[in-house]
Amino acid sequence: MWGYLRLFWLLPFPLLFGALGAGVYASFLREGKGATYSTIAMLGLLALIPLCGTHYVWSRSDLYSAADKGIVMYEVENPYKIPQDLLRLANKMQGLTLGPEHRILAHLNEVTHLAPLVKDFDFVFARDFQTPPPLIALGRAEEAQRRERLAAIFLDGNMKSIEAAPLLQSELASYVIVSPYTADLSNQLLELNYSLRFGSGPYELWVRD
């Protein structure tokens, strides 16, 4: 489904509208029935413009969020087309020490939004087809498993602190983002020596002390 929807992002609309506009004009000059069909085609493409990300995106969370249960259109809050509260958090993070030695542990929705913003954002885990394959190719399969457990189990609130502590340490998780898509990890993060550095709306940035 999503592969089909993404075709709309690739269509060369200026060229298509130019060709259709010329066709409509030529059809009217010929006074043929083709003018009606060309006009309908033009109106159909005009109706598709909102689906191309010009002023709207699919959902407030992420294209792949099961909670959306289909297409949820909303007007974007900023040029980056991510939740404004998350953008504030990202701006705050740029003042911190970033890079591969200071990774960010976040839910996939937040990773999807934040990864294109700042090249120095380095995440513990992204998608299952992005993080594990290169690590496995480098002979670091166990590291890939540790990272995935943090993203899949710890963020869901299903990992005990005694088990999470060494994983967070070994995978250099300097920052943890708590969001509507993670469990409420406040008490556990305090126990693990993280402190709340910044919050905006439903998003919280926790930093290792």
As a whole number of angstroms, the distance between CA 63 and CA 201 comes to 21
Asked whether residue 89 falls in the same domain as residue 188, the answer is yes
pLDDT at 78: 79
pLDDT of residue 62: 45
Residue 111 is assigned to a structural domain of this protein:
yes
Report pLDDT digits (tens) over 38-54.
677 777 767 766 555 44
Give the residue-averaged pLDDT of 128-133: 92
User: What is the domain range of residue 173?
Assistant: 84-208
Among 15, 32, 54, identify where a domain stops.
54
> Do 98 and 25 share a structural domain?
no
pLDDT digits over 58-89, tens only? 444 444 444 544 445 556 677 787 889 999 99
Residue 162 in domain: yes
Average pLDDT, the chain: 82
The answer, yes or no, to whether residue 158 has pLDDT greater than 80, is yes
Whether residue 61 is contained in a domain is answered as no
What pLDDT does 49 receive?
63
Together in a domain, 132 and 185:
yes
- Shared domain for 31 and 108, answered yes or no, is no
Statement to judge: residues 92 and 39 lie in one domain = no
pLDDT at 189 over 80: yes
Q: Residue 98 domain-assigned?
A: yes
Same domain assignment for residues 16 and 91: no
Q: Would you place residue 145 in the very low, low, confident or very high pLDDT band (cuts 50, 70, 90)?
A: very high
Residues 104 and 48 in one domain: no
The answer to the question of residue 77 being in a domain is: no
- Over the stretch 96-110, which tens digit does the pLDDT of each residue have? 999 999 999 999 989
What's the pLDDT score for residue 31? 64
What's the confidence (pLDDT) of residue 47?
Answer: 73
Is 133 a member of any domain?
yes
Q: What is the pLDDT of residue 64?
A: 43
Q: Is residue 72 part of a domain?
A: no
User: How many structural domains is the chain composed of?
Assistant: 2
Based on the fold, state whether residues 91 and 30 are members of the same structural domain: no
Both 200 and 124 in one domain: the answer is: yes
88 with 189, same domain? Answer: yes
What is residue 35's predicted lDDT score, i.e. its pLDDT? 66
In a domain, 17, yes or no: yes
